Amino acid sequence: MIQLTKTYDKTTTGLLLVDPYNDFLDPKGKAYPKEISESVNFFEHLKEIVSEARKDGIRVFYVPHHRSELDDYDTWLHPTPSNQVKFKPLQAFARGSWGGEFHPDVQPQKGDVVVHEHWGSSGFANTDLDHQLKMHGVQKIIIIGALANTCVEATARYGSELGYHVTLVTDASTAHSHEAMHAAHEINGPTFAHAILTTEELLAAL
């Protein structure tokens, strides 16, 4: 694992919780990545990190995907294949649905920040995430959630481009295949992330 620093000061570190919806986190969810989530103990690690971050005074930033609606993308010039083929027919995290609610075990608490919903993969693009991080003095971002090779990776890449110190946590993210996890953490992650840790390693560094 890549670990270039052991310092995560609460005044300059933020925990980014990406797409913590029932549809991703609950076994009954429409987009639940069963095999990978259960093989890495994803949800338990995610909860453990959120709990420890709050104990340590590290602010939690919720980075939610756009809650889907039936007419999404109908008038778009260039919807992506994922927009059209996967999310529109699946209606994952649909607005007003159980699947589109934050999981009850990781509900926002006082002091947390819920940023604007992102339409694509990056939690930074067309949202207030960068502004919120800067206004709270955050320089280092720890990114956990779903999915490792899409929204987590895109958010992490964008954060690196904006000058943030980026930490990925291999067993506090999930995906729909082992190949996707391998690409996110073994091939792509090392090109932009400053630290790639397990939950155990991260908790030891906090």
Backbone angles phi, psi at 111, to 5 degrees: 100, -20
Q: What is the tally of structural domains in the chain?
A: 1
Q: Is residue 150 part of a domain?
A: yes
Q: What is the dihedral of CA 157, 18, 205, 182, to 10 degrees?
A: -60
Question: Are 166 and 143 within 8 A, CB to CB?
Answer: yes
Which position has the token pair 């007003």? Answer: 96
Q: Is residue 3 part of a domain?
A: no
pLDDT for position 156: 98
Q: Is residue 1 part of a domain?
A: no
Closest to 20 (Cα-Cα) out of 69, 84, 116, 93: 93
How does pLDDT run across 83-112, given as a tens digit for each residue?
A: 766 666 788 899 999 999 999 999 999 999
Q: Which residues constitute the domain of residue 188?
A: 13-205
pLDDT for position 76: 87
Q: Model's pTM, two decimal places?
A: 0.95
CATH number at residue 30: 3.40.50.850
Mean pLDDT of all residues in 140-154: 98
Q: 21 pLDDT exceeds 90?
A: yes
Q: Is residue 5 part of a domain?
A: no
How does pLDDT run across 24-55, given as a tens digit for each residue?
A: 999 999 999 999 999 999 999 999 999 999 99
Q: Is residue 79 part of a domain?
A: yes
